[in-house]
Amino acid sequence: MVRSRWTASASKIFPRYFATKTKWTCSWNTQCLPCRISLDNSIDQVCTGFAAMSRKTFKYRLYPTRQQRERLQTTLDVCRELYNASLQERREGYKNCRAMLNYYTQANQLPAIKVLRPDVAALHSQVLQDVLKRIDKAFQAFFRRVQQGQKPGFPRFQGRHRYDSFTYPQTGFDLGPQLQLSKIGNVKIKLHRQLLGEVKTLTIKRENGNWYACFSCVVEPEPLPVLDNSTGIDVGLETFATLSNGKKIPNPRWYRAEQKRLRRAQRKVARRTNKQSNRRRKAVAILAQVHRDIFNQRNDFQHKESLKIIQQYQTIFVEDLRSKGLSRGILAKSVHDASWASFLDKISYKAENAGRKFIKVDPRGTSQRCPCGAANRKKLSDREHVCAACGLVTSRDHAAALEIQRLGRSLQASTILEIECVA
Ligand SMILES: [Zn+2]
């Protein structure tokens, strides 16, 4: 059973009974709906509301001087070189003598490398070690996927524009009025919000020529007062999302305007076919900035909307998008796909931190059934939901949200029943 990222990191006290029973069989033989749905995914993702420490990243803009900028860039270049070299060593070690190198064999060579290369010696030692840890992680992920029978990609050599960050895993930095970085200097930082929790690592990141400091902190959960309600959320194409009380979250106003800007920037790049030219390089930078703007706006919008949902509802039911198969077919517009998934991710981690419940349900048939249980066949073009059995007339998305809520509630009821049976 694959646990989602946030449950895996959530806590060691994650109750075992949620994970042990994976197949639900109806003890009363009523063949009720939840019994026919495999609980493999859903039960595992029940957010239990237990207090657990969680990791949060705080990101701040840096304003380095020209010299500091150069030093940051040099650090990145050296790190990238080390990354590529250690990757090559692993590849050739295996090719030539079937030797499996690990982190320690490579890290033990660092002192010798430093003697030969003063530019490597000029970097903070733990930053260098972290580069080798990244390579190790890439290989472990590769072998894990091989073992699971997936088709993994082999770890790649990183080009100049691909390698964008380096990490201080423990020491080498200090935050005062300025950010003190070992071997780089005191860098001006804009602390636009308070840093919370205990700082564990610091990653310095380059994005579109700007530099950022990302502090990964362990933070205490901030539980909200317990409520006695729930909601189902249907994500859709017409509106961004629909709640089961009929409330619609519309697609934001900026969306169309930004799409237009994006198209123009893309055309500009496409017209400038000489890959070496300065004019093309500038056009690419503009395109990257448009993408960044869209990302920022969307991120901000999603943070605000997910926070509202968390504040209003105790239990939140959503569709499990993994099995919806949106990545194929006519609706495969990556924009939609990505933004839904990240929206649900945000709800998920906020729910965990606030002691709310976040439950994913099987999305199959949620738009083809009435919340009363009767089948209700609809084509994608049918935007209205009209049920002959119970007389419910509403929009398609609202009916789906109601059905998601109903499914979720029945799942929840069966889970509680199960725990009682086991106990
Ligand atoms: Zn009905």
If asked whether residues 180 and 326 sit together in one domain, one would say: no
If asked whether residues 242 and 286 sit together in one domain, one would say: yes
Nearest Cα to 69, choosing from 209, 174, 238?
Answer: 209
What secondary structure does DSSP assign to 374-394, as a single string?
Answer: -B----TT--EEE-TTT--EE
Is residue 352 annotated as part of the catalytic site, yes or no?
no
CA distance 79 to 85: 10
Q: How far is ligand 1, taken at its centre, from the CA of residue 372, in Å?
A: 4
CA distance 326 to 314: 28
pLDDT in tens, 142-174: 999 999 999 899 999 999 889 999 999 999 999
Is 320 within 8 Å of 41 (Cβ atoms)?
A: yes
Q: How far is ligand 1, taken at its centre, from the CA of residue 245, in Å?
A: 16
Q: How many domains does the chain have?
A: 2
CA distance 194 to 211: 19
- Residue 402: burial class (beta carbons within 10 Å; 0-12, 13-18, 19+): buried
Tokens of 187: 């860098």
| Length, in residues, of the chain | 423
Residue 227 predicted with pLDDT over 70? yes
If asked whether residues 193 and 257 sit together in one domain, one would say: no
Residue-level pLDDT at 326: 56
Q: Which residues fall within 8 angstroms of residue 107, CB to CB, at 6 or more apart?
A: 129, 132
Residue-level pLDDT at 329: 56
If asked whether residues 184 and 90 sit together in one domain, one would say: yes
Tokens of 422: 């086991």
Confidence of residue 22 (pLDDT cuts 50, 70, 90): very low
If asked whether residues 244 and 383 sit together in one domain, one would say: yes
CA within 13 Å, CB half, 127:
26
If asked whether residues 297 and 385 sit together in one domain, one would say: yes
DSSP letter, residue 226: P
Structure-model confidence comparison of residues 331 and 145, the more confident one? 145
If asked whether residues 201 and 288 sit together in one domain, one would say: no
If asked whether residues 13 and 127 sit together in one domain, one would say: no
Residue-level pLDDT at 388: 86
Q: Region 322-326: what's the mean pLDDT? A: 58
If asked whether residues 298 and 389 sit together in one domain, one would say: yes
Tell the residue number behind the tokens 């993408």, with chain if given: 291
Q: Which of 130, 136, 352, 397 is catalytic?
A: 397
- Boundary of a domain, candidates 219, 241, 270: 219
If asked whether residues 281 and 304 sit together in one domain, one would say: yes
Q: How far is ligand 1, taken at its centre, from the CA of residue 391, in Å?
A: 6
Tokens of 373: 């249980």
Q: Which of 130, 136, 319, 418 is catalytic?
A: 319
Is residue 397 annotated as part of the catalytic site, yes or no?
yes
Nearest Cα to 404, choosing from 352, 355, 369?
Answer: 369
In the chain, what percentage of residues exceed pLDDT 90?
A: 53
Structure-model confidence comparison of residues 36 and 111, the more confident one? 111
Q: How far is ligand 1, taken at its centre, from the CA of residue 393, in Å?
A: 9
CA distance 30 to 22: 19
Confidence of residue 363 (pLDDT cuts 50, 70, 90): confident
Q: Which of 234, 362, 403, 418 is catalytic?
A: 234
Structural domain range at position 386: 5-52+225-422
Q: How far is ligand 1, taken at its centre, from the CA of residue 20, in Å?
A: 35
Mean pLDDT of the residues in the chain: 82
H-helix segments, 240-333: 254-271, 278-312
Residue-level pLDDT at 97: 85
pTM: 0.75
Residue-level pLDDT at 332: 56
If asked whether residues 306 and 393 sit together in one domain, one would say: yes
Q: How far is ligand 1, taken at its centre, from the CA of residue 308, in Å?
A: 29
If asked whether residues 204 and 278 sit together in one domain, one would say: no
- Residue 225: burial class (beta carbons within 10 Å; 0-12, 13-18, 19+): exposed
Phi-psi region of 49 (alpha: psi -120 to 50; beta: other; left: phi over 0): left
Residue 361 predicted with pLDDT over 60? yes
Residue-level pLDDT at 100: 86
Q: How far is ligand 1, taken at its centre, from the CA of residue 401, in Å?
A: 14
Q: How far is ligand 1, taken at its centre, from the CA of residue 48, in Å?
A: 32
Q: How far is ligand 1, taken at its centre, from the CA of residue 346, in Å?
A: 32
Q: What distance, in Å, lies between the first and last C-alpha atoms of the chain?
A: 23
Q: Region 180-205: what's the mean pLDDT? A: 95
Q: How far is ligand 1, taken at its centre, from the CA of residue 392, in Å?
A: 6
Q: Region 399-409: what's the mean pLDDT? A: 90
Q: Which residues fall within 8 angstroms of residue 326, CB to CB, at 6 or more apart?
A: 332, 336, 337
Structure-model confidence comparison of residues 235 and 419, the more confident one? 235
